[in-house]
Structure 1
Amino acid sequence: MILACHNLSKSFGDQVIVKDGSFHIENHEKAALVGINGAGKSTILKMIVGQLSPDAGTVVLTKGKTLGYLAQHQEMESGNTIYEEVRTAKAEVIEMEKQIRTIEIELPSLSGDALETRLATYQRLTSAFEHADGYAYKSELTGVLKGLGFTEEEFTKPVDSLSGGQKTRVSLGKLLLTKPDVLLLDEPTNHLDMNSIAWLETYLLNYPGAVLIVSHDRYFLNRVVTKVIEVEQGQLHTYMGNYSDFAVKKEQLREARLKEYLNQQREIKHQEAVIEKLRSFNREKSIKRAESREKMLDKMTLVDKPMEINTDIHLKLEPSRISGNDVLSVKGLSKAFPPQTLFTDISFEIKRGEHVAIIGDNGTGKTTLLKILNNVIQADSGSFTLGANVEIGYYDQEHHVLHMDKTIFEEISDDYPTLTNTQIRNMLAAFLFTGDDVFKLIGDLSGGERGRVSLAKLMLSNANFLILDEPTNHLDITSKEILERALNDYTGTVLYVSHDRYFINQTATRILELTGNTFVNYIGNYDYYLEKKDLLTPAVSTAASEDAPAQVSESKLSWQEQKEEQARIRKRQNDLKKTEERISVLETRNGEIDELMMQEEVYTNSVKCQELAKEKTANEAELEELYEKWEELAE
């Protein structure tokens, strides 16, 4: 055990963050701290690092071990370049190297005791330098910066000029390079693209120390952690396994607790009815028995009702009218912001009912494409056409459609006057606005809160073609799950940009990857994309070196090949199912034959015995073939 929190308690006024909460982290362990927005996850991290004091309880770090903490927001005004700032993480190694070089210059002029003393110092320093992997620190710096999405051209950028997200990435790089014994990371993937998140996953999986992560990125947590600590209504609960394991176990426990609660409530009502009936008899013995039952009820330890969870809210999205089968046709679209070219001569089509995710590195032009499709900006060349009866609902991260002087409730009710108060509150609750929150002014909300209001409005619109830019940003896991179910039930068409791999995996039927200034099609979800990306990479690189029509042709060819492969997979699955069914029939029949052969009227009848034996032999032969066929199909 390297870190332990014992009986932590913390409140802010009437709001209880945690009460008598305990958990521990083992050496080398990778753990997650999860909970809804506002549950107190960041507060717990701040108590661990000493930025906040607990009202009660203790935080114990093993003696001699170090903590490293990445907060969500970074202040960085050092005057350094990106490379210089990250290089400060290796200050001790750099100082050792400097001392070694100084001694190397001095040694030729020394003799006697002075030489012996200096040589001893030199040997000690070089040994420590090698132990700290000092000879590789420059390549390590470069590797971490590139892994976190910085190009070598950006290394010389002053950190004072960076955005908040870029500063967070620089801080994360510095922290990783200091290699503390315990890493505390608060939303480390917020400002990373998919490649950088994948790099960070690998880095953390191989990290020699312990890691405690606060994150809403479920795919990331599934890949990295082996323990989940949940903050819920001031209580801490620990689950072993990754995020998916946690979600299954939590639901099982919740169902068990709900069943226990309902059973106890039924027992209480039954006992109360019996007590009332006994008292109505108005006999001394009956009254004593009633009193005895009352005492039993008073001694009963009441089971708390499990918390009502937002996932019980089901948003039903339904377009007011159906669009034509051809929803969107894009031909030869190009866009550049000189000197950078985003995409060139891209063409694709979207059909009714498709859920299409656009993915790609930061800066490749994903959001720009959505803005072109919504006529927010113009393309340099090319065109796009909307199909018959297509009505777009657009969600962008700038939230132009909100009225700053209205409350959240008014923003919804004014646009949708036919909705009841309950319907409006249910929709807002799904996006984390409960109680008096609904009466906050839009102008007083944070960017994330405005985003949630915009998303709630869009979910209520009559649009049959939803275009969404990073719809899960600023949503907690529960809200993401509600949105996923709503989109999966949606019969209209969806085109969205997202870095949330778990969300893409749950909702996409097709992926367009923007890479090398063009699109590559993948017919499937994110797992399918990962499976096929390596196979298609040579095709993409070849296409990138040819002219634009060849790129489109190659992309279409890949799409067609995938459709054919999916058809082959479906056929193999059907064959496998039929094989398993036939095996089951034959094995069942052989069991019946064995039972028949034990019956006197059968084993005394030589003709019947021969018939059954012959049938079983034939069954065994067919089974032998089926077993082999099953093995081939199963592979």
Structure 2
Amino acid sequence: MILSCQGISKSFGEKVILEDASFHIEEREKAALIGNNGAGKTTLLRIIMEEIHADAGQVVLAKDKRIGYLAQYQDVQGHLSVYEELLSTKQCIIDMEERLRAMEVQMKNASGEELDRLMNSYTRLTHEFELENGYAYKSELMGVLNGLGFTEEDFTKQVATLSGGQKTRVALGKLLISRPDILLLDEPTNHLDMESIAWLETYLLNYPGAVFIVSHDRYFLDKVVTKVFEIDAGQVRMYAGNYSAYAEKKAQLRDAQYKAYLNQQREIKHQEAVIVKLKSFNREKSIKRAESREKMLNKIQRVDKPIEAQSQMRLSLEPRVVSGNDVLTVEDLAKSFPQQKLFSNISFQIKRGERVALIGNNGTGKTTMLKILNGLLDADAGSFSLGAKVQIGYYDQEHHVLHAEKTIFEEISDTYPTLTETQIRNMLAAFLFTGDDVFKVISSLSGGERGRVSLAKLMLSEANFLILDEPTNHLDIASKEILEEALNSYTGTVLYVSHDRYFINQTATRILDLTNQSVVNYIGDYDYYLEKKEELTEKYAPTAQEATEEAKEETPSEGKLTWQQQKEEQARKRKQENELKKVEKRIEELETRDKEIDDTLVLPDVCTNVGRCAELSREKDKIQAELEELYEKWEELA
């Protein structure tokens, strides 16, 4: 055991955050801490780090063990560059290296006992240097920087000039390189793109120490953790397995608890009715029996009614009018900024009913493309057109659609003046704004609160084409699941940008990957994208160097496929793959049945039954005939 929390309690005023919370983490264990926004996750991490004091209980860290903490928001300052900032964590190795170089110089001029003493010291220090990975610390440092999405151009930038997200990545890099015995990470994936998150997953899986992660990224948790701690109504409960295992077990426990509660309530009501009836007889014997039952009833240990799922927003999206089948057509779109070319010759189409995820690394131009489609930015070249009766509803991750000086109530009432006060209050209550909350000024709201106001406006718009920029940012897991359910039941069309891979897997019917200044189309979910990414990127969006090499090898007739051809080719391949799976499944079924018939024919009561043998033989012949056809078809498809 490396870390133990025993009986931790914490309240802020009358609000109880943690109540007698106890748990422990083993060495090398990877564990998650989850719970709704405001449940106390960050508070617990800060108690462990002794940044705030618990009202009761204690935190015990194993002897001689180091703990490292990444807070959600970092403000790394100083004149050092990004590379130098990470290098500072290796100062002890740098000092060792300098001492080794100094010893090498001294040994050149030493002899006798002095040389022996220097050689012994040099051997000991070299061994220590090797144990600290001294010969590879620079490549380790470069690997972490590249993994976290820093380019070589970024290495020389002063950390004081970086954005908040970049500073958090620097802090994370320093923490990983310093290799504490246990890592406490508060939302480590918030400022990482998909490639960097995938790199971090692999890094943490192979990390030699323990890891304790607060995260709303369910895909990340599924990949990394083997234990989940949930804070629910001040209590900390442990679930073995990853996030998906936790979600399944949680649902089962809740169902069982609710059934036990209902059964007990039925029994209590039955006993109460019997007691009333016995008392109504008004005889000494019946009254004594009623009193005896009352005593038994009072001794029953009552099952608590399961706490309703934490106050959750209620989201229902439905278009007012149905759009035409062609919702969006983009042709040869291009956009550049000074010293940065984002994309060029981008073409794609979106049909009614599709839910399309636009993905790509940070800086590839995803948000820019959404702004172009919403008329907030002009493209440098190309065009786009909306289909018949298409009405856009836009969710902006920076919430520019909100007016900072207005109250929440004014934001809704000014946008939808026909709504009554009661209708507005009911709508806002569905998004957890009740009472005087509705008079909060937009500028005073947190990121999550602004997100809920934007979603409320989106729901009221009754649009049939939703364009969403990072809609799950600042949402807790419960709220993400509500949004997923709403989008999956929405009969309109959706185009969204997201880094939330679990959310993409749950909602996307198609993925557009913005990479190498081009877009690659994947007809499937995120898992399908991962499976085909390397193959399709190389084919449809090669790097400049790959494209040059490919052009040398291509004949004039083998030019790059058009967007429509690319889409049709992928659809054909996907259909072929599905057909192949069906054929393989049918072959397996028939071969299994054929073997069953062979086993049946040798049974004593069957082989002597002429009619039964003839029936099985005829079935066997049919199987063989169908198998012959399927084998041919399999060869064709494979």
Taking structure 1 as the reference length, what is the TM-score of the superposition? Answer: 0.91
Match of 2:137 in 1: 137
CA contact (8 A) 1:313 1:426 kept: no
SS of residue matched to 2:331: strand
Q: Secondary structure at the match of 1:553?
A: coil
Distance 1:555 1:226, change over 3 A: farther
State the Cα distance separating 1:460 from its structure 2 match. Answer: 2.4
- Native 8 Å contact 1:334 1:343 kept in 2: yes
Structure 2: tracts of 5 or more residues without a match: 552-556
Q: C-alpha distance in 2, partners of 1:268/1:212?
A: 44
Q: Mean Cα displacement is larger for which, 611-620 or 381-390?
A: 611-620
1:120 Cα deviation from its structure 2 partner: 2.5
Partner of 1:562: 570
Deviation of residue 165 (structure 1)?
0.7
Deviation (angstroms), 1:275: 1.4
In structure 2, how many angstroms separate the alpha carbons of the residues matched to 1:436 and 1:366?
37
Instruction: Classify 1:394/1:591 alpha carbon distance in 2 versus 1 (closer, same or farther; 3 Å).
Output: same
The 8 Å contact of residues 583 and 626 in structure 1, kept in 2 or not, is answered as: no
Asked if the contact 2:278/2:289 (under 8 Å) is kept, the reply is yes
One-letter code aligned to 2:190: N
CA contact (8 A) 1:19 1:234 kept: yes
Query: What pairs up with 1:184-333 in 2 under 5 angstroms?
Result: 184-309=184-309, 315-333=315-333
Tell me the residue number matched to 2:146: 146
Stretch deviating more after TM superposition (416-425 or 31-40): 416-425
Counterpart residue number, 1:529: 529
Give the share of equivalent positions with the same residue, in percent: 62
Deviation at 1:452, TM superposition (A): 2.2
TM-superposed CA distance for 1:114, in Å, is 3.3
Q: Which amino acid aligns with 2:180?
A: P
Deviation at 1:220, TM superposition (A): 0.5
- The separation in 2 between residues aligned to 1:626 and 1:332, in whole angstroms, is 49
Paired AA for residue 59 in structure 2: V
The 3 A distance-change label for structure 1 pair 415 and 140 is: same
> Match of 1:103?
103
Shift in Å, 1:413: 5.2
| AA in 1 matched with 2:145 | L
Deviations 1:204-246 (A, max 9, x none): 1111111010000011111111111001000111111111111
| Count of aligned pairs | 626
Q: How has the CA–CA distance of structure 1 residues 164 and 115 changed in structure 2, closer, same or farther, with 3 Å as cutoff?
A: same
Report if aligned partners of 2:516, 2:543 keep a CA contact under 8 Å in 1. no
Measured at CA, do residues 301 and 255 of structure 1 come closer, stay the same or move farther in structure 2, by a change above 3 Å? Answer: same
Q: Provide the rounded CA distance (Å) in 1 between the counterparts of 2:122 and 2:415.
A: 76
Cα offset, 1:12, TM superposition = 1.2
Shift of 1:562: 2.1
Taking the aligned partners of 2:140 and 2:267, their CA distance within structure 1 comes to 65
- After TM superposition, the structure 1 = structure 2 runs for residues 578-617 of structure 1, keeping only pairs within 5 Å, are 609-617=609-617
Q: 1:337 to 1:69 in 2, by over 3 A?
A: same
Q: Closer, same or farther in 2 for the Cα pair 1:410/1:270, shift >3 Å?
A: farther
- SS of 1:75 mapped into structure 2: coil
Distance 2:19 2:435 in 1: 23
- Cα distance in structure 2, aligned partners of 1:566 and 1:578: 19
Q: What is the DSSP-based 3-state SS (H/G/I as helix, E as strand, rest coil) of the residue aligned with 2:153?
A: helix
**Aligned letter for 1:510?**
R
Partner residue in 1 for 2:554: none
Give deviations 1:594-634, integer Å, cap 9, x for gaps. Answer: 99959xxxx9xx8xx3111222344456568889979x899
**Cα distance, 1:179 vs structure 2:** 0.6
Q: 1:305 to 1:550 in 2, by over 3 A?
A: farther
Do residues 452 (structure 1) and 460 (structure 2) align? no
TM-score of the aligned structures, taking structure 2 as reference length: 0.91
Q: CA deviation at 1:187?
A: 0.2
CA distance in 2, matches of 1:622, 1:261: 56
Corresponding residue for residue 27 of structure 2: 27
Could you tell me how far apart the structure 2 residues matched to 1:509 and 1:528 are? Answer: 11
Distance 2:269 2:74 in 1: 56
Residue 536 and residue 339 in structure 1: after superposition, are their counterparts in 2 closer, same or farther (change >3 A)?
same
Taking only aligned residues, the RMSD between alpha carbons, in angstroms, comes to 3.2
| SS at structure 2 position matched to 1:319 | coil
* Structure 1 SS opposite 2:579: helix
Deviates more, 1:363-372 or 1:260-269: 260-269
* Whole-angstrom CA distance in 1 between matches of 2:263 and 2:436: 34
Per-residue Cα deviation, 1:149-200 (whole angstroms, up to 9, x for no partner): 0001110100001111100000000000001110110000000000100100
Partner amino acid for 2:267? E
User: What SS does the aligned partner of 1:152 have?
Assistant: coil
Contact 1:430 1:479 (C-alpha < 8 Å) held by counterparts:
no
Report the counterpart of residue 55 of structure 1 in structure 2.
Answer: 55
* 1:514 and 2:522 aligned: no
Measure how far apart 1:6 and its partner are.
1.5
**TM-aligned CA distance change 1:480 to 1:542, over 3 Å:** closer
- CA distance 1:313–1:405, change in 2 (3 Å): closer
Preserved contact between residue 356 and residue 494 of structure 1 (Cα < 8 Å): yes
CA distance 1:551–1:282, shift in 2 (3 Å):
farther
Match of 1:392, as an amino acid?
A: I
Structure 1: distance between partners of 2:436 and 2:591: 62
- Whole-angstrom CA distance in 2 between matches of 1:165 and 1:588: 62
Mapping 1:30-109, distance limit 5 Å: 30-109=30-109
Higher mean C-alpha deviation, range 466-475 or range 563-572? 563-572
Counterparts of 1:595 and 1:303, CA distance in 2: 57
Q: Post-superposition shift, 1:537?
A: 3.0
**Larger mean Cα displacement after TM superposition, 310-319 or 30-39:** 310-319
C-alpha change, 1:596 and 1:486, in structure 2 (3 Å) is farther
Aligned pairs (5 A) from 1:365-376? 365-376=365-376
Separation in 2 of the partners of 1:225 and 1:553?
42
| Aligned partner of residue 64 in structure 1, secondary structure | coil
Distance 1:503 1:419, change over 3 A: farther
Partner amino acid, structure 2, of 1:278: L
Cα 1:439–1:265 change in 2 (3 A) is: farther
Q: Which runs of 5+ in 1 are unaligned?
A: none
Give 1:421 deviation, angstroms: 7.9
